[in-house]
Amino acid sequence: MRFISTRGQSPALGFSDAVATGLAPDGGLFLPETLPSFANDLKRFEKLSYPELCFEFLKVFATDIPQETLRAIIAKSYTTFSHPDIAPLKQLSEKLHVLELFHGPTLAFKDFALQLLGNLYEYQCRTRGETINVLGATSGDTGSAAIHGLLGKPGTAIFILYPDGRTSPLQERQMACTGAANVFALAIDGTFDDAQNALKDVFGDQDFRKQFRLSAVNSINLARVLAQCVYYLSAFLRLPAAQREEAEFVVPTGNFGNVLAGWMLQKMGVPIRGFRVATNQNDILYRLFTTGEYAVSDVRASLAPSMDIQVASNFERFLYFNVGRDGAKVREVMQTFKTTGRYTFANFDKDSFDASRCTDAEIPGIIKDVYRKYGYIADPHTACGFKDIKTDRPSVILSTASPAKFPETIIKAIGTEPTHPSLEVLKAKPLVKHKIVADPATIKAFIREHAVR
């Protein structure tokens, strides 16, 4: 299978090259040239384990990796998860379910893709005899998951930009307390969007990118989105048969990658009814799906920091399909947005998406209410998914992070401190971070000094 850029000005690549490249040279994002259909495979998928299901799905895309090698890479990637179901589906009431995505090594949904991506990078370094330098930006969970996917792997170095003081203390410790020589936690003054913009500028320097064999771990990387499709498929198959085609998936999201994965799976023949984009008070996606205007506003630090984003990178992939796969139109929209900070769609087709918005003032009350009704502790991001939950249809709320990563908010809401052994260990380790300006030239200078060659 070949992969093309949303902006239509880069050559099509195979899976491994698209993964290694990350961001397309024309500034676009890679997508499959054609979307396969899994409509006729659902019955045979029902009894597969999570790693087996992941293999059956990804082998359709990763056609340049020998199947037994791919199977082994996938199997290795999910040995680090603590729950036997990998992504357990918990039933809270007759029609309400929670898909727990926080049983990986960093206790967040990003582990599903980044454990796999780390092992894909290791495979590529070994088979191609090359090193790779990985650059990412994070609002909280991506950075720690990416780092833990590459910890100590030979031939790799990883550089993660994050907004200093705008992640939770434990999220920062997961990035800056590893002690690994190939890990660099880069704390910037500013917001996630500042980090993401600088990252894109660095990747835009094609000579620098090629010289240092730079790759991306953000959800701009195609492998991230494809890997995340699998937990939607797993959840769909474990719902009661009578509820499957009526279920709405409710997805706390900031960068749009998590919910985009489910939507793409729907376009591959899996009959999911629809999706609700659950934002926090940084609500660019809520405004988009309710008004048709995509417009930046100031990022406000929140109790759900992983969603403190105003520029949702993965929206470009949805846009590509929304405008009839017209690369020129995508370029026009994205250039207007970059120049003016807004784009108004005259006839915006929101497809099967709905949206909700949750403020900081509401989050503790929602956590308390969910705990009282169901005895379930939701982290602040998951709490946003419980806002305006519909009772007339089956719903699956994606629980994106362990509540143990946000103890202050949970204590305030229910008076109980959630803990996790891996986080307790971090509290005693030294914090090693590099303060850096979110400027492409400064970031490139740091990479030159510390890159693996």
CB 270 within 8 A of CB 39: yes
Could you tell me the two tokens for 186?
């880069």
Name the residue with tokens 């589906």: 89
The pTM of this model reads: 0.93
pLDDT tens-digit readout, 189-222: 999 999 989 998 999 999 999 999 999 887 789 9
Point out the catalytic residue in the list 95, 110, 200, 405. Answer: 110
90 carries an active-site annotation:
no
Task: Report CA-CA distances (Å) from 319 to 107, 160, 227, 292, 350.
Answer: 31, 27, 21, 12, 10
Question: 298: which 2 tokens?
Answer: 């100031």
Structure tokens belonging to residue 267: 């376009």
Q: Which residues of the chain have pLDDT under 50?
A: none
Domains in the chain (CATH in brackets) are 89-104+223-419 (3.40.50.1100)
Residue 137 pairs in a beta bridge with: 161
> What is the rounded CA–CA span in Å between residue 436 and residue 199?
13
Q: Dig out the tokens for 237 from the structure.
A: 């198959």
Whole-angstrom distance, CA of residue 331 vs CA of residue 321: 13
409/403 Cα distance (integer angstroms):
9
DSSP lists the bridge partners of residue 397 as 98, 250
What gap in Å lies between CA 200 and CA 156, rounded to an integer?
A: 20
CB-based contact 113:89 (threshold 8 Å):
no
Rounded Cα gap, residues 76 and 60, in angstroms: 19
Which tokens sit at 67? 């199947």
CA distance 364 to 303: 9
Cβ neighbours for 325, distance < 8 A, ≥ 6 positions apart = none
Q: Cα separation of 380 and 301, whole Å? A: 13
The Cα–Cα gap between 58 and 67 comes to 10
CA distance 275 to 398: 11
Cβ-contact 142, 217 below 8 angstroms: yes
pLDDT tens, residue by residue, 135-145: 999 887 888 99
Whole-angstrom distance, CA of residue 89 vs CA of residue 111 = 17
pLDDT attached to residue 208: 96
Measure the CA–CA gap between 365 and 383, rounded to whole angstroms. 9
Reference 351, options 382, 331, 323; nearest CA is: 323
